[in-house]
Structure 1
Amino acid sequence: MQHDSLEQRIQTLEDKAALKALVDAFSNLADQKDLATQALLFTEDAVVDTYFEGQLFASLKGRKEIEDTFSGFMANFETSYHLNGQHTAELDGDRATAVHYCLVVLVNTVDGKKTRHTNGVYYNDEYVRQGSQWLISKRTSYFTWRDQQLMGQS
């Protein structure tokens, strides 16, 4: 049984809310295609590893590489839509980890046909508090399943 003070319990709640707000901001910025601002949610030396169906797709290091790669990838899509689900965070002082689930829908047009790509994704995140701000220091993204469908088709 924990005997944390009221202040410690409030700090824990505030930190968990800030971490959830961080991943929500990440998703909102992706959908707005504001990838320069999104990159600022990572530490300068952050690492992002992305897996598609178990295979390493990309391993990125540092804000610049993250921004450039995300920008190039998102340029392939007219629309993106992130729907965040559960976010389970564990705190350890100025560091934290979390598992975060997300449904990512991407829409593009190829050969005049609009296509919707729906992805089931979960992230294993590591965070660090720098000053009063939480940032992502490491993100491992697992795109575990994908469905592709022509839009306007049943």
Structure 2
Amino acid sequence: MEDKFRCNCPITSAIDVIGDKWSLVIIKQMLTEEKKTFKDFMESEEAIATNILSSRLKMLEEFKLIIKGKLPENKKTNIYTLTEKGIALTPIIVELLIWSDNNLREFHSDLYAGEQLEMVKSDKEKFTKHIIENYKKNNGLQHAI
């Protein structure tokens, strides 16, 4: 996997893994929108192309940010679940939410401004913990909290 990295800088190396246009979007969808299957991701408003989605899911799996399994009721359908490494990106996603609200609203007047944003602004740590606990509970990962 060494050849996947441009240099030995920790920040650049992290960007090599999650700095593309789609990886954090996929992780955000898993954390906050309960997306689990290829079809779930395809039906999202972000409109990712199938070939890009497929390659990003494989890459996220390769770096152990997600794991691929099968739906119990449908062995043909793959289901994707975040690992602890993937879940550990939650604070970064929350920080991006805050940064976007503070810095992009003037350029994007339709940016979300609802109740969740107010929760984040009032208590970022509590919101982050809530997202993680909710994801783990909904995916049978309570023991990992």
Both structures adopt the same fold (TM-score exceeding 0.5): no
TM-score range, shorter chain: under 0.3
Normalized against structure 2, the TM-score is what?
Answer: 0.25
Normalized against structure 1, the TM-score is what?
Answer: 0.24
| Higher relative contact order (CA closer than 8 Å, sequence separation 6+) | 1
The structure richer in strand per residue is 1
